[in-house]
Amino acid sequence: MNLVPKAVVGYLPDERPPIWKLILFALQQILVMFPATVLVALLTGFHVSTTIFASGLATLCFLLVTRGKIPLYYGSSFSYIAAIVSITGAREFGKVAEDLLISQAQFGIILSGLVSIAAGLIISAFGVDKIEKVLPPTVTGSIAIVIGIALAGVAISGAAGNGATGVDQNKAWIIALITLFATMIFSVYLKGTWGQLPILLGIVVGYITALFFGIIDFSAVFAGNILAVPHFTLPSISGKAVLAIMPIAIATIPESTAHLYQLDIYVDHLAEQKGKKSYNIKNRLGQNLIGDGIGDIVSAMIGGPAGTNYGENLSTMAITRNFSVAVLGAAALITMVISFFTPLSNLVNTIPGAVIGGVSVYLFGVIGAQGIAIMINRKVDLFSARNLAVIATILVIGLGGNYGFPNGMIPFFGIQLPAIATAALMGIVVNLVLSIGRKEAT
């Protein structure tokens, strides 16, 4: 009896789905990145429509700079929030800062982009092997875990309806749990095209549930003009902004590296199943950092905040096995269009926090799990005292700092240090110090 080989479902970076599938997959990526990207704008005093537009434009530039070899989406980074707020003075949630203050922050972001570009050029010149001495899997894997688990509080508070006006907490929990279980069931049991849309379908189920409970307000969807050009601002020179924002770029390099290594594992696994050769995405770290830097510069030039490649989008790709660069390009274009159509932006904003929270429980957990996958894939020796010291330092500083202090900012000798960035730098330092005189592989 002849057995027909089971078709492998999924798209590799250089594969393009049919147009109707491509649009559906793109919408899924947009819904995943939208809440966090908008939240950064609301927290820092930047214009929401400009932030959305900048996210799409920066993503297109990233894909162009990396020649379509690295399927990652560029969104607003949480690591820069405290530094940007120190310039814009944003204290009231959702209140837009003065143009002058935004433009000064833009200048600092542009300089931080140059830091990423410089790091990328150094890595491209001297090779990934050299950077792995500084960023071994004990560091990148641990940072990935911290990124995912540090966001757990955001997911759970959103699922509980915290911050949502007039929403009963019991209703919020029901909506969040239905969304979560629907998403997980879809991701496990659906096959073919539908099996690649579990996030989108989960959000739809959650949205319908929220409609049933009557907690969605459509009154603001058509408020204001239907068409509105995003509010663009130009950067202005500010030494204070450079000192506050530029150094953050150094600390975000391990985060970006962790995302790239996560991506490499999942893409190569799919390529192996399809009988194709390895894509060696991890060897494109230099390109990735250069693309990140270009994204920061492009975003900041028009009034958008600093950003990075998004773990939420990466998790979605890992869950759906869809790594098509064309999908991310389409998502970027649609995002830019949405920024001009006020009703579309407003409609996306009607998605309740409980729905996003329910999906995020899954997404953020997957980000953390990918960090474990990095260490397993790279055969990290967890009986090594040195490795344990590096991992322990990163986990405790990153998670402890995030949950132990307001906004994840650790007070240290009169200054405020971002927990995840500090954890990354401390991990690098501990690894380098404990590597002195040791020759064995990590």
Residue 92 has pLDDT above 70, yes or no: no
In the structure, what pLDDT confidence band is assigned to residue 200 with cuts at 50, 70 and 90?
confident
In the structure, what pLDDT confidence band is assigned to residue 1 with cuts at 50, 70 and 90?
very low
Bridge pairing between strands 74-76 and 409-412: unpaired
Q: What percent of the chain stands above pLDDT 90?
A: 34
The count of other CB atoms within 10 Å of the CB of residue 323 is 26
In the structure, what pLDDT confidence band is assigned to residue 185 with cuts at 50, 70 and 90?
very high
Question: Is 441 inside any structural domain?
Answer: no
DSSP 429: H
Mean predicted confidence (pLDDT) in 243-255: 74
Question: Is 375 inside any structural domain?
Answer: yes
Question: Is 364 inside any structural domain?
Answer: yes
The count of other CB atoms within 10 Å of the CB of residue 216 is 15
Residue 206 has pLDDT above 90, yes or no: yes
Nearest to 11 by CA among 312, 318, 264: 318
Mean predicted confidence (pLDDT) in 324-347: 90
In the structure, what pLDDT confidence band is assigned to residue 293 with cuts at 50, 70 and 90?
very high
Question: Is 439 inside any structural domain?
Answer: no
Residue 176 has pLDDT above 90, yes or no: yes
Nearest to 300 by CA among 46, 98, 89, 115: 46
In the structure, what pLDDT confidence band is assigned to residue 442 with cuts at 50, 70 and 90?
very low
Mean predicted confidence (pLDDT) in 217-232: 82
The full length of the chain comes to 442
Task: Tell me the torsion sign for CA atoms 293, 299, 305, 308.
Answer: negative
Residue 287 has what pLDDT? 92
Question: Is 292 inside any structural domain?
Answer: yes
Arithmetic mean of pLDDT over the chain: 85
In the structure, what pLDDT confidence band is assigned to residue 234 with cuts at 50, 70 and 90?
very high
Residue 251 has what pLDDT? 64
Mean predicted confidence (pLDDT) in 25-34: 88
Q: What percent of the chain stands above pLDDT 70?
A: 93
Residue 4 has what pLDDT? 43
- Find which of 144-158, 295-309, 407-421 is predicted with most confidence, using mean pLDDT: 295-309
Q: Give the count of domains, the chain.
A: 1
Question: Is 3 inside any structural domain?
Answer: no
- Find which of 3-17, 29-43, 94-108, 385-399 is predicted with most confidence, using mean pLDDT: 385-399
Residue 134 has what pLDDT? 78
Residue 199 has pLDDT above 70, yes or no: yes
CA angle 106, 285, 9 (to 5 degrees): 105
Residue 209 has what pLDDT? 95
Question: Is 225 inside any structural domain?
Answer: yes
In sequence order, the 6+-apart residues with CB closer than 8 A to the CB of 414 are none
DSSP string, 228-246: -----------HHHHHHHT
In the structure, what pLDDT confidence band is assigned to residue 384 with cuts at 50, 70 and 90?
very high
Question: Is 9 inside any structural domain?
Answer: no
Rounded to whole angstroms, the maximal C-alpha distance in the chain is 75
Residue 421 has pLDDT above 80, yes or no: no
Please compute, for residue 238, the number of CA atoms within 13 A of its CA located in the half-sphere on the CB side.
25
SS (H, E, C) 346-378: HHHHCCCHHHHHHHHHHHHHHHHHHHHHHHHHC
Mean predicted confidence (pLDDT) in 149-174: 81
Q: By residue range, what is the domain housing residue 341?
A: 19-434
Which stretch of 256-260, 323-327, 338-342, 405-409 has the lowest confidence by average pLDDT? 405-409
Residue 32 has what pLDDT? 83
Mean predicted confidence (pLDDT) in 217-239: 84
Rounded distance between C-alpha atoms, residue 398 and residue 419, angstroms:
5
pLDDT tens profile 34-83 = 877 887 887 778 988 899 999 999 999 999 999 999 999 998 877 677 67
